[in-house]
Each structure stands twice: as C-alpha cells, then as structure tokens.
Amino acid sequence: MNPRTTLYLGGARSGKSRMAEEAARRTGLALRYIATAAPGDDEMAERIAHHRAKREGLGWETVEALYDLPEAIRAQSRTDTAVLVDCLTLWLTNIMLADRDIAVVREALLAEIEAAPGPVLLVSNEVGLGLVPETPLGRAFRDEQGRLNRKIAALVPNVVFVAAGLPLVMKGSI
C-alpha cells in the first residue's frame, strides 16, 4: 500500500474534501477524481456541477463510480497517479439503495485500496456522532458507515479527522 494513502473523515461541510484535494495536488502526480454522487434531484445535480466546475482547469480527470468503486480504483491507480475518492458515504448509500451485498463490496473495496500502487485519498462522513436515526434504514446506514470507516481506518497508514476546517491527525501523518 502506498504510504500516502489517507482516509479523511468529518462531518458535512467540515473541509475534508478540500483538504483531500489539496493533499492530492501536493503529491505532484497525475490527478484522478472518483466521484460517487448520483444526481437524484435538481439540488444534487447542482452540487455535482459546482464540484466539477471548481476542479476544472486544475488537472483533475473525473471518473464516476456510483456502484463499482473497487473496479474504478483498480483501473485508475498507478504509481504516477493520486486517486481521490469523494465520497464513501454516497457510495455506500448507492450500494444500500441498490440492495447489493455490503459485506462483499466492502471487502472488494478494501482489497483494491490495499493493492493500489499509488496514493488513494478517501473522503468519508463520520455519521455516528449525532442523533440515533429515526428509521430502520437510517440506523442500518449509520451502522454500515461506521463499519466501513473503521475497516478502512485500520487498513490505511493515515487517518485525518476534519472539523471546522481543521485537521486532527488520528493515525500516521499528512
């Protein structure tokens, strides 16, 4: 595994994506952005367009992987390329709503992260810090997101928690 592989955790609008993008640019490598968001409504489509526009002209090549994230990491990761995945939370949402086997796809994702020859920068929400979700699906999502974050944090050499735009290095270094 590449020693620069890092998991960026935090809440919504905490600055984790910005921090991961900056870290990817600092590598000096080619830049691949694996986007996992599905434009399910007008507001989300606008968010996606905004994110694309802010990366435009900065050297990013964007690849969409709503479901097949392990395969996208395998296809994009090279020693001369920094891969940024934004975000694991939306990817897990897609997987759960498509009723895919979470354990199987999670293990495939972990294997591809571990096998990646170049740095993989992963962005994920820490959703378990708030209220207990009201619905069974919400509680199942919270639990699965916690499991996914925990397994990736155990695997990768660096973990950064971002709150209010400030990094807290939890493991390794940035």
**Among residues 171, 150, 78, which one has the least CA distance to residue 120?**
78
Angle CA(126)–CA(129)–CA(132) in degrees, nearest 5?
Answer: 115
d(CA 89, CA 101): 16
- Catalytic (active site) residue 51: yes
Burial (CB count within 10 angstroms: exposed 0-12, middle 13-18, buried 19+), residue 110: middle
Q: Which entry of 1, 15, 30, 51 is annotated as an active-site residue?
A: 51
Give the catalytic positions in this structure.
Answer: 51
